[in-house]
Amino acid sequence: MSKPADRRYADRYDLAIVGSGVAGLTAALTAAAAGARVVVLTKGRVEACASYEAQGGVAAAVAPSDSPAHHARDTVAAGRGLCRESAVRVLTEEAPARIEELRRLGVRFGDGLGLEGGHSCRRVLHVDGAETGRRIAETLVRRALESPSIDIVEGERVVALEPGRGCRTESGEIGAAALVLATGGYAALWARTTNPPGSVGEGIALAFRAGAAVADLEFVQFHPTALEGSGFLLSEALRGEGALLLDGDGRRFVDELAPRDVVARAVAERGTALLDLRPIDRGRFPRLMQRLADEGYEPAAGPVPVAAAAHYSMGGVVTDLDGRTEAPGLYAAGECACTGVHGANRLASNSLLECLVFGRRAALGALAGPAPSEHHPSPPALDEAVTDDVREQVSEHAGLVRDGAGLERLCTSPLLLARLLAESALARRESRGGHFRADFPHENPALSGRHTVLRPGRDTVLERWT
Ligand SMILES: Cc1cc2nc3c(=O)[nH]c(=O)nc-3n(C[C@H](O)[C@H](O)[C@H](O)COP(=O)(O)OP(=O)(O)OC[C@H]3O[C@@H](n4cnc5c(N)ncnc54)[C@H](O)[C@@H]3O)c2cc1C
């Protein structure tokens, strides 16, 4: 994937982007179109990211009967009183233009729009059935490789951020005037996850160490129907078509179409459950059926075992609407960022859209922003490992249902991000969206609109954003 060695490292780039998912690639193409020389650094292979896994689609009010205002209303309703409405307006108003741009770049969206939970009308665009994320990412990669101004370098794990100077990787220094983080979320901190193993929030820890604020880390969406064992996602659409959730005695125990967090908690209470795909037209989901067959299941013969799994992280590095973090010279976009757009609960298919809208804005913001007036001493290199023990600890103490005692124990984790997550979850003494505390099982109206913000060396605060 890397371009030839002689072009691999320029002396200094205008912009270094950490992460090659849809957010990072969108930022790269935007910056290159604005005349910048860009490097995209990614710790693994380009395909090893959540963007390639996104099945359902990307939401945008493109139907004549729909409007950004409707889309915004649904987004705010899903976010349970915590969405930053200015970010929601930007997301939903810019969505149709970003879709048009993708079409111009060569993404071929399928006919018709999908309906997903929480959307009041059909507004989810898809490509090749459940291949939406992969096809969008592949198109963006192709365009980035064609650009003479963009270098994509695989196998470069960034271990320290030096805004204004660039960043450090495991193999050296990358000089860049501006820096955009697009490192994805942290749902792979849990032992059971739908995410690729690299989604452990390294960028969020790097940003915090570089002086940025982080917020809303306690909000994590758990998906109710991940295949037991592999974590492969069995989409909500299956239940929409009539697939049933059964307990070990073959009895239904929950309304399959209740909100995702309700269904996930009901499944988690039982540990595992069975998803019966026999009532539905399985031919409509060829890729999912093939994957089940590959895993050794015969959905026509009997139900398949499923469990709840960590799926999407709403929290991240605090940014304004142009991707600017609180560390001068550092910008962030995509799942690693927290604009407040998703509130306590992301509306389905709004996350790829977030990457498109805020990836573009972060690139433009980073190129326009002033260089930091002073350079901080370089932070020590990130040397933490996300071990199986850490994953077990996070799963046990910050799972779908948490409480103060478990979270206090997680505060002693060797992993910085696990400690920050525990501190955030302790500070939010209520249950809301993707955060359920057994010791505070109800929503507290006084906490509506208040984001849990952690700043290096400061006390946790619950603050309102405009
Ligand atoms: C199974 C599944 C299904 C989904 N379905 C949908 C859907 O239908 N619709 C939707 O909108 N969303 C969906 N999502 C969510 C969506 O895919 C993600 O929110 C989105 O793709 C995140 O994109 P990103 O660019 O922010 O990060 P990612 O795509 O995760 O990319 C992160 C990048 O950062 C790199 N990186 C991380 N740390 C470092 C480091 N230290 N140094 C260098 N590189 C680093 C990674 O290698 C990777 O390239 C789904 C997610 C999953 C897992």
Query: Could you state, in order of their start, the residue ranges of all structural domains in the chain?
Result: 5-217+314-368, 224-309, 385-450
With beta carbons less than 8 A apart as the criterion, state whether 73 and 79 touch. Answer: no
**The pLDDT of residue 230:** 86
**The pLDDT of residue 321:** 98
CB atoms near residue 267 (< 10 Å):
26
Asked if residue 115 has pLDDT above 90, the reply is no
Pairwise CA distance, residues 300 & 28, whole Å: 45
User: Largest Cα–Cα distance of the chain, in whole Å?
Assistant: 66
- For residue 286, name the pLDDT band (cuts at 50, 70, 90): confident
Question: How deeply is 395 buried, as exposed, middle or buried, from its count of CB atoms within 10 A (0-12, 13-18, 19+)?
Answer: middle
- For residue 156, name the pLDDT band (cuts at 50, 70, 90): very high
Mean pLDDT rounded to a whole number for the chain: 94
Q: How far is CA 2 from CA 41, 54, 134, 141, 154, in A?
A: 10, 24, 19, 11, 6
Asked if residue 448 has pLDDT above 90, the reply is yes
Of 69, 7, 54, 44, the residue nearest 351 (C-alpha): 54
With beta carbons less than 8 A apart as the criterion, state whether 332 and 67 touch. Answer: no
Ligand 1, atom 6, lies closest to the CA of 54
**The pLDDT of residue 371:** 80
Q: How far is CA 465 from CA 61, 214, 430, in A?
A: 25, 13, 19
Q: For residues 102 and 263, which has the higher predicted lDDT (pLDDT)?
A: 102
Tokens, residue 9: 């490292």
Asked if residue 215 has pLDDT above 70, the reply is yes
- For residue 7, name the pLDDT band (cuts at 50, 70, 90): very low
Asked if residue 261 has pLDDT above 90, the reply is no
- Residue-wise pLDDT for 157-179, tens only, equals 999 999 999 999 999 999 999 99
Write the DSSP symbol of residue 442: S
Q: For residues 235 and 88, which has the higher predicted lDDT (pLDDT)?
A: 88
Tokens, residue 453: 């913000």
Amino acid in position 291:
R
**The pLDDT of residue 210:** 95
**The pLDDT of residue 1:** 56
Question: 64 C-alpha vs ligand 1 centroid, how far in Å?
Answer: 30
What whole-number percentage of the chain has pLDDT above 70? 98
**The pLDDT of residue 262:** 85
- For residue 2, name the pLDDT band (cuts at 50, 70, 90): low
Of 85, 89, 132, the residue nearest 108 (C-alpha): 132
Query: Ligand 1: which of 49, 186, 350 to mutate, most ligand atoms within 8 Å of CB?
Result: 49
Q: Are strands 214-215 and 172-181 parallel, antiparallel or unpaired?
A: unpaired
Query: Is 43 close to ligand 1, i.e. is its CB under 6 Å away?
Result: yes
The catalytic residue positions are: 260
Pairwise CA distance, residues 207 & 51, whole Å: 21
State the DSSP H helix or E strand holding residue 359, giving kind and residue range, or none if neither.
helix 350-368
The average pLDDT across 77-105 equals 97
Pairwise CA distance, residues 213 & 326, whole Å: 6
Which option is the CATH number for 224-309: 3.40.50.720, 3.40.640.10, 3.30.565.10, 3.90.700.10? 3.90.700.10
Amino acid in position 455:
R
CB atoms near residue 286 (< 10 Å):
11
Query: Ligand 1: which of 26, 345, 355 to mutate, most ligand atoms within 8 Å of CB?
Result: 355
Amino acid in position 353:
L
**The pLDDT of residue 227:** 95
The average pLDDT across 46-66 equals 94
With beta carbons less than 8 A apart as the criterion, state whether 214 and 49 touch. Answer: no
Question: 157 C-alpha vs ligand 1 centroid, how far in Å?
Answer: 16
**The pLDDT of residue 180:** 98
CB atoms near residue 287 (< 10 Å):
12
Which option is the CATH number for 385-450: 3.30.830.10, 3.40.30.10, 3.40.50.300, 1.20.58.100? 1.20.58.100
Q: How far is CA 45 from CA 15, 48, 52, 151, 326, in A?
A: 20, 5, 11, 14, 30
**The pLDDT of residue 10:** 62
Pairwise CA distance, residues 407 & 413, whole Å: 10
Ligand 1, atom 13, lies closest to the CA of 54
pTM for this structure?
0.95
**The pLDDT of residue 341:** 98
Pairwise CA distance, residues 237 & 172, whole Å: 45
With beta carbons less than 8 A apart as the criterion, state whether 282 and 289 touch. Answer: yes
The average pLDDT across 134-150 equals 97
The torsion angle over the Cα atoms of residues 374, 167, 187 and 359, rounded to 10 degrees, is 80
- Residue-wise pLDDT for 326-380, tens only, equals 999 999 999 999 999 999 999 989 999 999 999 999 999 999 988 887 767 788 8
Tokens, residue 321: 């609407």
Asked if residue 88 has pLDDT above 80, the reply is yes
Amino acid in position 33:
A
Which option is the CATH number for 5-217+314-368: 2.60.40.650, 1.10.3720.10, 3.40.50.1970, 3.50.50.60? 3.50.50.60
| Domain 5-217+314-368 and domain 385-450 have a common topology | no
Which residues have CB under 8 Å from 331's CB, separation 6+? 178, 179, 180, 181, 319, 322, 323, 324, 325, 362, 363, 365, 366, 369
Q: Provide the phi-psi class of 216: left if phi over 0, else alpha when psi is between -120 and 50, else beta.
A: left
The average pLDDT across 417-436 equals 97
- For residue 3, name the pLDDT band (cuts at 50, 70, 90): very low
**The pLDDT of residue 9:** 59
